[in-house]
Amino acid sequence: MKVFSIRFQNVEKEIEREDFINKIGNELASRGYSVGLLKEDKSLKGQFEKFKMVGYFKDGRVELIFKESNLEDVMNYYNCDYLILENLQGAFPEIVCFNEEIKKVELSSKTIAAVTIKTEKKFMGNIPVLSLEEIRNITDLIVERVFEKLPALFGGGCGKCGEDCNKMAEKIISGKADRNFCKREGEGKIKILVDNKDIPLVPFVEDLFYSVIRSMLLNLKGCKEGQVQIKLKL
């Protein structure tokens, strides 16, 4: 699954933000990709703050609410080609949308495009500047530059590649590294053997097993981070 963020600066109206995300999601869907959306629900505050999982574009919108959930765990419920994160930053590419004037300070090393009503500048440094109406061109950039999600999107990582996931994302986006530089790929977080026969897991199922089992084990007295072996008789 490929993950990217759309961040908004001074775009106050919810309907304008939703309209832009819908155009991007529907353009990706028209190219044959499945697309999901994950956003923070700002309408509820304090202890009721929640994250909203939104169903796929062009297939109707089904919304599920996860209260006080870890974002990585919520993502395990998705099985789509592209996942759009609204107003989130982490180890993934981002598109930053401005109401009018682009402010360089709001861009980051992981910004792959700046989008605005005004398009006098074609580049902000090495970041392309596009108008809100250039949906096809923006989507071309997404398809070209967004990569399979790294293991730790919001901080940390195993460090086997010599970097944390955030630094690795920066290097991939700048062209100094490739997605296959990740040393964790191919190793797998879970290995299931049935009568000594290896049972392969697709990434979505592996992540789901991992997050559920890990959260349960860490609540047990005496259990800590490290390699864990579980034997189960069916």
What tokens were used for 153?
């999107």
**In terms of pLDDT, which residue wins out, 88 or 46?**
88
Say what the pLDDT of residue 231 is.
78
Given pLDDT bands bounded at 50, 70 and 90, which one contains residue 61?
low
Q: Is the pLDDT of residue 114 over 90?
A: yes
Please say if the pLDDT value at position 4 is more than 60. yes
For 176-200, b/e burial (b = at least 16 CB within 10 A) is ebeeeebebeeeeebeeeeeeeeee
Residue holding tokens 């630094």?
167
Whole-model pTM: value is: 0.74
Calpha distance 66→53 (Å, rounded): 8
124-165, pLDDT tens digit by residue? 888 999 998 999 999 999 999 999 999 888 877 777 788 889
User: pLDDT at position 120, please?
Assistant: 64
- Provide the residue type at 153 as one letter: L
Q: Tell me the per-residue pLDDT of 12-30, one tens digit each, with 9 for 90 and over.
A: 788 888 899 999 999 999 9
Least confidently predicted of 92-101, 104-113, 162-171, 199-208: 199-208
Q: Which domains does the chain have, with CATH numbers?
A: 2-145 (3.40.50.300)
Whether pLDDT at 2 is above 90: yes
Residue 201: is its pLDDT beyond 70? no
Rounded to whole angstroms, how far apart are CA atoms 99 and 112? 18
Query: Is there a contact between 61 and 54 (Cβ–Cβ < 8 Å)?
Result: yes
Q: What is the per-residue pLDDT for 16?
A: 87
Please give the Cα distance from 80 to 94 (Å, whole number): 18
**Nearest C-alpha neighbor of 207 from the set 96, 77, 101:** 77
Q: How far, in Å, are 17, 102, 122, 124, 202 from residue 119 at the CA level?
A: 19, 10, 7, 11, 43
Q: Is the pLDDT of residue 57 over 80?
A: no
List C-alpha distances in Å: 98 to 12, 13, 141, 198. 10, 12, 18, 50
